[in-house]
């Protein structure tokens, strides 16, 4: 029994010109393009697979949008004696509330440099970012470090013995 032989036409110098495969009894066109197409499909499927694997990680790293979470947080004034601070969750993000010498103040707690959480230093009366030494004064103004923008102020009011952060 004779086995059918596969022949390809001599390849053209032009890579855009399709190669033709000749099988006795029929003509198969563009076998290379079909292989390339299948390779691209496999690459795309691999890409979607990787995206699916990393999506939960990206969602975990990214802070939630500001629309999520409470936009009004009440704190018992007894929990914030003069000079004390407290880190709360305001609109889904950390915020720092301080009972400073100028009264109650609150700022978004995420450093504008690379997103670390700032802390209040009662000894120095400044906010400090522990990551790269960013420093902010009691008005949220940048005093030092690689920080590009000041802190975002959050309105604070007092009603009776409650400190109210936010609207
Ligand atoms: S993240 Fe705050 S100084 Fe770099």
Mean of the per-residue pLDDT values of the chain: 84
pLDDT band at 36 (very low <50, low <70, confident <90, very high): confident
Residue 120: per-residue pLDDT: 96
**Per-position b or e across 79-89, b if 16+ CB within 10 A of its CB:** ebeeeebbebe
**Between vectors from CA 133 to CA 129 and to CA 136, what angle results, nearest 5°?**
60
pLDDT tens track for 91-114: 989 999 999 998 999 999 999 999
pLDDT at 2 over 60: no
β-sheet bridge partners, residue 151 = none
Q: Where are the domains of the chain?
A: 7-61, 72-166
Ligand 1 atom at minimal distance to the Cα of residue 133: 3
Q: Would you give the DSSP letter of residue 41?
A: H
| Ligand 1 interacting residues, C-beta cut-off 6 A | 111, 113-114, 116, 129, 131-132, 134, 145-147
Which CA distances in Å does 138 have to 55, 93, 99, 117, 141? 38, 20, 11, 16, 7
Just give the CATH number of 72-166. Answer: 2.102.10.10
Which of 137, 164, 134, 139 lies closest to 153 in space, CA to CA? 139
Torsion angle of alpha carbons 86, 73, 150, 139, nearest 10°?
Answer: -70
């Amino acid at each position: 029994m004779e086995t059918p032989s596969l022949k390809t036409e001599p390849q053209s110098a032009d890579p855009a010109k399709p190669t033709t495969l000749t099988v006795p009894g029929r003509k198969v066109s563009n076998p290379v393009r079909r292989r390339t197409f299948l390779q691209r499909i496999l690459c795309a499927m691999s890409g979607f697979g990787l995206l699916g694997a990393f999506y939960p990680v990206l969602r975990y790293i990214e802070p939630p949008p500001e629309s999520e979470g409470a936009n009004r947080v009440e704190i018992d004034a007894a929990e914030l004696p003069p000079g004390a601070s407290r880190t709360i969750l305001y609109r889904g993000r950390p915020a720092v509330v301080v009972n400073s010498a100028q009264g109650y103040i609150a700022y978004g707690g995420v450093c504008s440099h690379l997103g670390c959480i700032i802390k209040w230093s009662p000894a120095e009366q400044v906010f400090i970012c522990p990551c790269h030494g960013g420093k902010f004064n009691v008005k949220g103004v940048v005093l030092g470090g690689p920080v590009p923008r000041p802190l975002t102020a959050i309105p604070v009011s007092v009603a009776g013995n409650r400190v109210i952060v936010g609207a």
